Amino acid sequence: MPRLPTAFSVTFQGTQRGRKRPMKKVYAVDLLNRTSSGMRVELYGWVKTRRRHNHVVFLDICDSTGTVQSVVDETNKELFELAKRINQETAVKVAGILTETGRPNPPKEIRVREIKIVGVATINVSPYPRSDIDILDPKLQKQLLDKRHFYLRNEKIAAILKFRHVLTRIVHQWFHENGFIEIHAPVLTPTPLYDDRSAMALKVHGQDVFLTQCVGFYLEQAVHAFEKIYNIGPSFRAEESRSKRHLMEYWHIKAELAFVDFEDMVATVERFIQDVSKQSIHEGRELAHIIGTEMCDDGLKIPFLRIGYDEAVEWLKAQGSDMEFGKSLGSNDESLLSSRFGNTPFWVVGIPRSIEPFPYVIDSADPRRTKTADLIASRGFGELLGIAEKIHVLSMLDERLTEKGKAGDTRYEWVRELRQYGCVPHGGFGMGLERFIRWLLQIPHVRDTIPFHRAFGRRIDP
C-alpha cells in the first residue's frame, strides 16, 4: 500500500484491507483434472442432483465448469440430515477429501466433511434447468422463454451462449488481423435507413429519433477517414415478421470499405465467412457436442455459387412459387433454391432497385437492378447477409432519393454532403450475429442464440 501524503490530516479507516484470498479458489474442472486424491478440497457450486442409497447421500455439485460427485455418510449425523433434505439448486460450499472411486465414472469424488448453505432454493422451476432437457422441444418453449433467467443455467443453452462468445471473439479477431478499425456508431439516430415505419421511434428532448436499424450511414462517413472499419452492436427493427430468423433487437456485424467495388466486397465476404467458419469450427466443436449438434462446414468452400435475382425469380416461378420480379425472396423460396444448390451458401445478385434502399449503386448494365447481393445460407437457413456497393456521386444519390420519396428530407442532408466532399466508391456488408450462429450450429430459431430475446409482437418480459 502506497503511503498517504503527509499533508493528509485525517485517519483513513477505509484504507484498511481485508483478506487477500479470493472467496472461490477452485472450480469443478480443477478438482476433476488438476488435483491429487487425498487432498482436502472445497468447492462452491450448486446441488444438481441428490440421491440416497441406504446410509449414503450422493450430491452432484456443479459449477460453470463441471460436476463433482460428493458423498455424505452417517458418520456425522447432523451433516447427514442436512444432506438428506437439501434442495436441488441450493448453492453450497462443500469441503472434504478428494478420493478415487476406483470406477471409471466418476473417477473421483469428494468425501464430504462440511456443507455450508450459501443460497437457498425455495421455489420450484420445472423442468429443472440443469437437467438434460430437449431445449428445442416446442412444448417447452413458453416455459423456457418465460423463465429464461433461470434456463441460462441449462448446460446446452449455456453452451450456445459460450459459442456466441467464441464466435464474437473470432469475428473481432478477423477484423483486427485484416486491418479494420472498430467504430462504435450510435444507437440513437435521427436518420432511418429504410423507412420511418419499421424503425423504432422515441422522443428525446421533444425530437423524434430512432433506434438504429443499421449503422451504414455512420460507417460510410467514417470510412472516408479509416478506409476499413467495422461495428458489432445492437440494431433494432420493428418488422412485422415472426420468422425463425428475425429479432426485434439483434447484434449486427457491419463492415465498410473505401475504394472497393462489388467484386471486392464479394471476395472480402467470402474470405470472412471461410476464415471465421474454419476457426469457429475448430474452437466450437466441443460446445457443439454438448448442444447435441454438428457444426456446419459449408462456408469453407469458396467462391460461393451465384445466381442472378432475375434467374432465381424465373426458376422459382417454374417451380410453382408465387415469386415475381420486385418482391423479396421469401423463406420458402430461399429453401427451394437452397435445396437445389446443395450444401453451399450462394449469392443472389442484382436485387431490384425498387426493394433496395436509396444509397445502393444502380447496375449500369441493367438499371432495374442494384449492385447488391444477398448471401443465402445452405440447408435452408435462409438469408445470412447482404452486401452493397454504395453510390458516391451526388446526382445519382439525388435520383434515388427522389425515387424513394425522400428528396428534400433534411434528415438526409449529411448523407448528401458526403457526396460533395471527396466521396469515393465504397461498400459494406451486414449480417445478424444470431443468423450466423444459427447457421453454424444448425439451430432452428435465432431466439435461442441470444441471451434474452426480443421479438416483434412479444411482450418484453423481462
Q: Minimal CA–CA distance to 62: which of 50, 75, 53?
A: 50
Sign of CA dihedral 156, 157, 161, 164: positive
Q: What is the dihedral of CA 196, 199, 203, 204, to 10 degrees?
A: -110
Among 82, 121, 136, 145, binds a second copy (CB under 8 A): 121
The reply to whether 107 sits near a second copy by the rule CB under 8 A is no
Q: Count other C-beta atoms under 10 Å from residue 179's C-beta.
A: 10
Q: Count other C-beta atoms under 10 Å from residue 152's C-beta.
A: 13
Q: What is the dihedral of CA 314, 318, 323, 328, to 10 degrees?
A: -50
In the complex, least distance from residue 182 CB atom to a second copy, rounded to whole angstroms:
5
In the complex, least distance from residue 106 CB atom to a second copy, rounded to whole angstroms:
21
How far apart CA 258 and CA 119 sit, in angstroms, is 55
The reply to whether 6 sits near a second copy by the rule CB under 8 A is no
The reply to whether 101 sits near a second copy by the rule CB under 8 A is no
Q: Which is nearer to a second copy, 76 or 194 (CB)?
A: 194
How far apart CA 48 and CA 63 sit, in angstroms, is 9
Q: Minimal CA–CA distance to 220: which of 384, 357, 82, 395?
A: 357
Q: Please give the residues from 37 up to 76 whose contact with a second copy meets the rule CB under 8 A.
A: 44, 46-47, 63-64
**C-alpha cell recorded at residue 163:** 459459442
Residue carrying the nine cell digits 430461399: 334
Q: Please give the residues from 372 up to 401 whose contact with a second copy meets the rule CB under 8 A.
A: 392-393
Q: Please give the residues from 141 up to 200 whose contact with a second copy meets the rule CB under 8 A.
A: 149-150, 152-154, 157-158, 161-162, 164-165, 168-169, 172, 176, 181-191, 200
Q: Please give the residues from 210 up to 229 whose contact with a second copy meets the rule CB under 8 A.
A: 211, 217-218, 221-222, 224-228
Q: Which is nearer to a second copy, 78 or 177 (CB)?
A: 177
In the complex, least distance from residue 244 CB atom to a second copy, rounded to whole angstroms:
19
Build a one-symbol-per-residue string for 301-340: x at contacts with a second copy by CB under 8 A, - elsewhere: x-x-xxxxxxx--xx--x---------------------x
CB-side exposure of 139: number of CA atoms within 13 Å?
Answer: 4
Q: Please give the residues from 248 up to 307 whose contact with a second copy meets the rule CB under 8 A.
A: 248-249, 251, 258-264, 267, 301, 303, 305-307
CB-side exposure of 106: number of CA atoms within 13 Å?
Answer: 22
Q: Give the chain's end-to-end CA distance (angstroms, integer).
A: 43
Strand pairing partners for 431? Answer: 253, 385
Build a one-symbol-per-residue string for 74-93: x at contacts with a second copy by CB under 8 A, - elsewhere: ---------------xxx--
Among 107, 342, 405, 444, binds a second copy (CB under 8 A): 342
Build a one-symbol-per-residue string for 432-461: x at contacts with a second copy by CB under 8 A, - elsewhere: ------------------xxx-x--x-xxx
Pairing of strands 108-119, 91-100: antiparallel
The reply to whether 424 sits near a second copy by the rule CB under 8 A is yes
Among 39, 56, 202, 407, binds a second copy (CB under 8 A): 202
